[in-house]
Amino acid sequence: MILVTGGAGFIGANFVLDWLALSDEPVVNLDKLTYAGNRENLASLDADARHVFVQGDIGDGELVAGLLARHQPRVVVNFAAESHVDRSIHGPEAFIMTNVVGSFRLLEAVRVYWAGLPSDTRDAFRFLHVSTDEVYGSLAPAAPAFTESNRYEPNSPYSASKAASDHLVRAYHHTYGLPVVTTNCSNNYGPYHFPEKFIPLLIVNALAGKRLPVYGDGLQVRDWLYVGDHCAAIRRAIETGRPGETYNVGGRSEKPNIDVVRTVCHLLDEWQPRRDGRSYLEQIEYVKDRPGHDRRYAIDASKLERELGWWPAETFESGIRKTIRWYLDHADWVSRVQSGAYRDWVHTNYAARAA
């Protein structure tokens, strides 16, 4: 049995679905079901006895302790987080409460559970903490990619809260001996991605005939990682990662944002052309940049590749084709997640950004 937190969100749901497709080991899935957590992501598991879903908060220590005692997991995988930079700028407190306070309370419950295990079970236990490359800050255009030895220089309330959680995880290993493994990933994309994020927002807006907002000059660079590759890396880190270690997970696919926009437009032009015959490129609109927008992220995943034998299976070109095809084939899912609260958020974040 494994316990997954945040397993109804984008990466967490993909992980749970992949895990149960590849293994018969059951999953207890704890998710608060905030705006980005969606039970529909897990609909294919509704009749699967291997999947136990619990709605709840990682900050609820009593609930977590009860789940640990009842189900006796050998692994805890922590995806639970507030994760959108723009939302953290508008409302940082939620990020502190979930990513810092929630992580602390989860660690405390896990520490007590782990300490009470028999010695052989205790030695085999793992706490896998999923984090982000944003904790490292911003890279100059020609600087080497982030390695695990880069110092932390977070520049947004989101990345600062994730950095704090990473430090807590590290401290619980060095102080208490808790067998933790941390992964810091680059920008994910793929199925079930909530459409406030860059790539699904582009797809959804393009098909709806809306503008495609590009922050600043559009030359911010990100390393794009297909979510299925990320899930495979986490599975490797669970099984063979060394306690106390951090592993960077990247897609080896650095792209300026504007190139990503153009790629999405070209593929949509090919697969679902506009009725007027014109290109989706005409919907691109440059808007006011995000405050404190990091210029470049890039991940050096050579440690993970060398020590654990992981390598991304998808290039950006193959992964983005799979992603767009999924959104075209799941228009009903997209429609249902675009609630009134989602529309209010999009208006709040983008309406005031002058072209």
**134 tagged catalytic:** yes
Per-domain residue ranges for the chain?
Answer: 2-189+225-252+297-314
| The model scores a pTM over 0.85 | yes
- Of these residues, 86, 134, 196, 300, which one is catalytic? 134
- Pick from 186, 193, 196, 265: nearest CA to 233: 186
- Of these residues, 158, 226, 297, 327, which one is catalytic? 158
Q: Rounded distance, CA 280 to CA 290, Å?
A: 23
Per CATH, which fold does 2-189+225-252+297-314 belong to? Answer: Rossmann fold (3.40.50)
Whole-number pLDDT of residue 350: 52
- Of these residues, 57, 82, 86, 133, which one is catalytic? 133
DSSP 226-256: EHHHHHHHHHHHHHHPPTT-EEEE--S-EEE
Whole-number pLDDT of residue 337: 85
- Give me the tens of pLDDT residue by residue for the chain, a chain 355 residues long: 999 999 999 999 999 999 999 999 999 999 999 877 899 999 999 999 999 999 999 999 999 999 999 999 999 999 999 876 778 788 899 989 999 999 999 999 999 999 999 999 999 999 999 999 999 999 999 999 999 999 999 999 999 999 999 999 999 999 999 999 999 999 999 999 988 889 999 999 999 999 999 999 999 999 999 999 999 999 999 999 999 999 999 999 999 999 999 999 999 999 999 999 999 999 999 999 878 888 999 999 999 999 999 999 999 999 999 999 999 999 999 988 886 454 454 455 555 555 5
Whole-number pLDDT of residue 345: 43
In angstroms and rounded to an integer, the radius of gyration of the C-alpha atoms of the chain is 20
Whole-number pLDDT of residue 104: 98
Residues 6+ apart with CB under 8 A from 160: 154
